[in-house]
Amino acid sequence: MINNLLRKTGLVLLSGGLMLSSFNSCTNSDEIGLNLTPPGDRFHYVVDSTTVLTASTLRQDSVTTEKRTSSLLGCMNDPIFGRSTAHLLTQLRLSSNEVDFGVNPTIDSALLILKYQGYYGDTTAMQSMRIYELTKDLYFDSTYYSNLKMDGFYNPAVTVGDLSYYPTPDKDSLQIRLTDDFGNKLIRTDTANLSNPTTWLAFFKGLYFESQPVQQGGSIVYFDFTGGKSRLLLYYHNDVNDSLKYEVLINSSASWVNLFTHDYSSAPISSQINDSIDIHPEVYLQSMAGLRSFVKLQIPQAILDKVSDGITINKAELILTLPADPTETVFHKPTTIRVFKAGANGKNEFLDDLLLGEAYYGGTFNNKTSTYRFNIGRHIQNILHPDPAQRIENTGLFLVITDERTSANRLILKNGNVGGGMKLVITYTPLR
């Protein structure tokens, strides 16, 4: 009986819910306009906003970072979140096979070009980086994480480049002069190493960019490694010709990996991270394998009591509110965030609601209401399914920044117990 009723009413959930004017627990018996509908045809629903939500801020262990659409470099000091740093490893590929630099080639300059894509933070603070030659292979088909241990990947005593600069992302690219010794090593190698991609990568495994600490301000700069516009230009001459040039490319055939570190030791929020006991007024989200929020849902007993008889969730809107943030002019809020089911071992598990599309699922910041909103009706229906065999456990939710692997974004949210910062509005129909 219940399963048949659920099938009959399932279209209500898929429709995206009802338009409602009140977020208090109520029924529609007093709604304006119901006198136009015969009593036997009235659709009975309940709106309940009494679910208790409490959240905490958790550290993330790591995220996968190989071959992402944005490559991050730099260091920034956030007055709330502390210091964050992004390092980078990358292969460089020959732009042709069977390369021959001629007789007695000599480097004139080795110029590394990194294509700008954007930034996060304060670009008026100087950035510094050291560049090393990789001594360990990167593999194109391997998975790499943001906490990769660098032991054996490079020789810290030998740099091939050292740069201090002010980021200018409004320009096309950042230019870095590498050492002539490094350039000569590349063009004077045996031609067998220049014959094809396999022999080249066995000879030259790539570069490691190590961002140096910034004491005040700072930014994380985004670069584009996908299209070949980031590259190494080798200007050289030989016994026959002057003013020669060869390009070594960073493109979709290469592998690159980001490394992320965070130092919260001096951050005002340090005592709140991984605190599962105290309930704080705010919770924090941060990209680059930084922070996420864990949200507990205490669904009211009035709803739980109806589960065995069956209820259809028409809509379940999760509403997240932002506090005032005086640092927002420098550290902008992300356009979108995501909500996941809190899975076993701390894994982010997709909600069924995402299958209905982004427009239904939500998560985009609304400037007018200063909120992020999600429809998680399917997820709540799964928790409240009348058949215990099909019911899922209410393990809570994880909130994360959508582009956490390709941006340095961070976000502050009001916690559920303070000023209605978090709210879950459940609209449902009792089946009996």
* pLDDT tens-digit readout, 388-413: 999 999 999 999 999 999 999 999 99
**Residue 150 scores a pLDDT above 80:** yes
Residue 282, in any domain of the structure: no
Q: Do residues 33 and 111 both lie within one domain?
A: no
Q: Quick one: average pLDDT of 128-157? A: 97
38-52, 55-69, 243-257, 300-314: which range is least confident on average?
Answer: 38-52
Place of tokens 């739980």: 304
Last residue of a domain, one of 263, 282, 312: 263
Q: How far apart are CA 164 and CA 127, in angstroms?
A: 6
| Mean of pLDDT over the chain | 90
Q: In total, how many domains does the chain have?
A: 2
State both tokens at 202.
Answer: 């066995």
Q: Is residue 268 part of a domain?
A: no
CA atoms within 13 A on the CB side of 1: 5
Global pTM? 0.87
405 with 307, same domain: the answer is yes
Average pLDDT over residues 145-159: 97
Examine the domain organization and report whether 218 and 325 are in the same domain: no
Three-state DSSP class for residue 74: strand
Of 263, 282, 311, the one marking the end of a domain is 263
Residue 277: inside a domain, yes or no? no
The pLDDT of residue 431: 85
Both 53 and 88 in one domain: the answer is: no
70-74, 295-299, 415-419: which has the minimum mean pLDDT? Answer: 415-419
Q: Has residue 9 got a pLDDT over 80?
A: no
Cβ–Cβ under 8 Å, residues 302 and 52: no
Dist CA 354 CA 379 (whole Å): 10
pLDDT of 237 above 70: yes
Shared domain for 218 and 301, answered yes or no, is no
Same domain, 318 and 237: no
Please give the average per-residue pLDDT across 87-92, as a whole number: 98
pLDDT at residue 399 in the model: 98
**Do residues 45 and 86 both lie within one domain?**
no
Q: What percent of the chain has pLDDT over 90?
A: 84
- The verdict on 321 and 257 lying in the same domain is no
State the pLDDT at residue 14. 38
Q: Is residue 274 assigned to a domain? A: no
Task: Look at residue 313 and tell me if it is in a domain.
Answer: yes
Bridge-based pairing of strands 161-165 and 93-94 is: unpaired
In whole angstroms, give the CA distance from residue 339 to residue 362: 10
356 lies in which domain range? Answer: 2-60+290-430
**What is the per-residue pLDDT for 418?**
59
Average pLDDT over residues 183-212: 98
